[in-house]
Amino acid sequence: MEEVNPKQAKADIPPRIEPYMAPVNGIVQPPVVPPPNRPGRRTNVLEDLKVLLNYIWRIRWSYHFRKPVDTITLGIPDYHAIIKYPMDLATIKKRLNNNYYWQADEALEDFELIFENCMLYNMEGTPVYSAGKELRAAFYTRLASIDMRNEVEVIPKPDKRKRKTIECCSPIPQPVKASKHSEPPTHVIAAPSPKKEVVVEPIPPPPPPVVKVISTTCYKNLDRLIEKSHCNHLLKSMIKRKRRQYTWAFNCAESWRRYCQNPNYNHDTKEMIDWRILQRRLYNDEFDNIDIFVYTVRKMFHNAVRCFPDDHLVKTSVKKTNEIFENRLLKYRELIANAKRRAREIVSKLNTEDEENANSSNDPVEPKAKEQENRDWSTIGGISKSLPSDTQLWPEYSEKIKRNKEQAHGNRVQN
């Protein structure tokens, strides 16, 4: 990268004018593309601010400042009446990528505007106010490591590499000339092989009907494991990153004692519940079924409303989180019912196979004797084709079988 420091750039900086934007559906989106009369540029300090923005974006205190404020979803209709120029981290990120700023001081003004709006609208002691205060401290701590004095424009180097065209020409295959003394190929005709006679094995008699033994299986432990796994998956889906802008009120129940707005709320008698406590109780197998888990989650929502009766942000968080939880709960109840049905089908199938194996193992000698008898019939020429399965009905066949067996045995001994 080539760095250019034009001396006339500081004297000819175009004025920065931020127009007032009216909210659309409760959201104000500031412009992110530089206007034609005031193009932005790319400097070394602005590149460092990109890295700084990615750093504070990953901090957990930045959850409330990543997107423009949605007054309809959060239930704060007076926000835009108090905050005339809202700002958020996503807008600054787009402006940095689109070269919206002329110098780094303009980007720092937008960062400071986020923190000022947070301190102006939210009361001191609220969770959002504390998050903005922590994020501001982390931002300026990291900003101290950036050199703001020598700001120069950065111009990317032109790409001087040229593509080399490689022509891959495959050689044209030449026809092969036949020699004068070459002999024509001789085709060998194989003699047809004699047809083998198909030996038809006798059809064994059908097995006797199996009497099914009614087995009693206890599915209580199996149902508990299924419900526990689905409750764990439901809880993980509730604390995903994409839902943290709504579920932030239940991240840490220990802070409720410090920011509580209800003097009659007794923290010693009330059960302290948050996402982390629910995960620990699920891991320790403290919930017998899904109904107890659902009751505990709803109790957490009820405690939050009683502890913060005047906080609109907490009420909105509880309302939105409760809607998400109830909608997903219906889906997970269907999944649990389907999983239980499939588990019962698999268990019944395994029980049936075990019963069949037990019945077949009661008389292991008889099938082997029948198999050996069929194998002996196949060695006798001419008789196996017409020999019925039950030779006791025709005694003349049994005499022939005995004579042929003795003759075949004598031939084997002589050989």
pLDDT digits (tens, 9 = 90+) for 117-170: 999 999 888 889 999 999 999 999 899 888 888 888 887 766 556 554 444 445
Q: 43 forms bridges with which residues in the sheet? A: 153
Do 226 and 343 share a domain, yes or no?
yes
Domain boundary among 122, 144, 166: 144
Same-domain status, 113 and 231: no
- Residues 134, 240, single domain; the answer is no
116 domain residue, yes or no: yes
**Shared domain check, 348 and 241:** yes
| Residue that is last in its domain, among 90, 119, 144 | 144
87, two tokens: 């700002």
pLDDT per residue, tens digit, the chain (415 aa), is 444 454 445 556 667 778 888 899 999 999 999 888 888 888 999 999 999 999 999 988 898 999 999 999 888 889 999 999 999 999 999 999 999 998 899 999 999 999 999 999 998 888 899 999 999 999 998 998 888 888 888 877 665 565 544 444 455 555 555 444 445 544 445 555 555 555 656 677 766 665 554 455 677 888 889 999 999 999 999 988 888 888 888 888 888 888 888 888 887 777 888 899 999 988 888 888 899 999 999 999 988 888 888 888 888 889 999 999 999 999 999 999 999 889 888 888 888 877 777 766 655 445 544 455 454 444 444 444 444 444 444 455 456 566 766 776 666 556 5
**Is residue 195 domain-resident?**
no
404 lies in a domain? no
- Establish if 27 belongs to a structural domain: no
Residues 223 and 343 grouped into a single domain = yes
108 shares a domain with 223: no
Same domain, 225 and 351: yes
Tell me, yes or no, whether 333 and 225 share the same domain.
yes
Q: Is 232 found in the same domain as 105?
A: no
Identify the helix (H) or strand (E) that includes residue 153.
strand 153-155
Q: Residue 393: inside a domain, yes or no?
A: no
Domain end point (choices 112, 144, 176):
144
The predicted model scores a pTM of 0.43
Summarize pLDDT for 296-314 with one digit per residue, the tens: 999 999 888 888 888 888 8
Q: What angle do CA 89, 15, 156 make, to 5 degrees?
A: 65
Domain that holds residue 350: 219-355
- The position carrying tokens 């593309």 is 33
248 occurs within a structural domain: yes
Residue 136 belongs to some domain of the structure: yes
CATH code for the domain of 119:
1.20.920.10
Q: Is residue 30 part of a domain?
A: no
Task: List the one residue out of 355, 365, 252, 357 whose CA is nearest residue 300.
Answer: 252
- Phi and psi of 3, rounded to 5°? -105, 130
Same domain (yes/no): 239, 127: no
Q: 134 and 224: one domain?
A: no
- Count how many domains the chain has: 2
How much is the CA Rg of the chain, to the nearest whole Å?
42
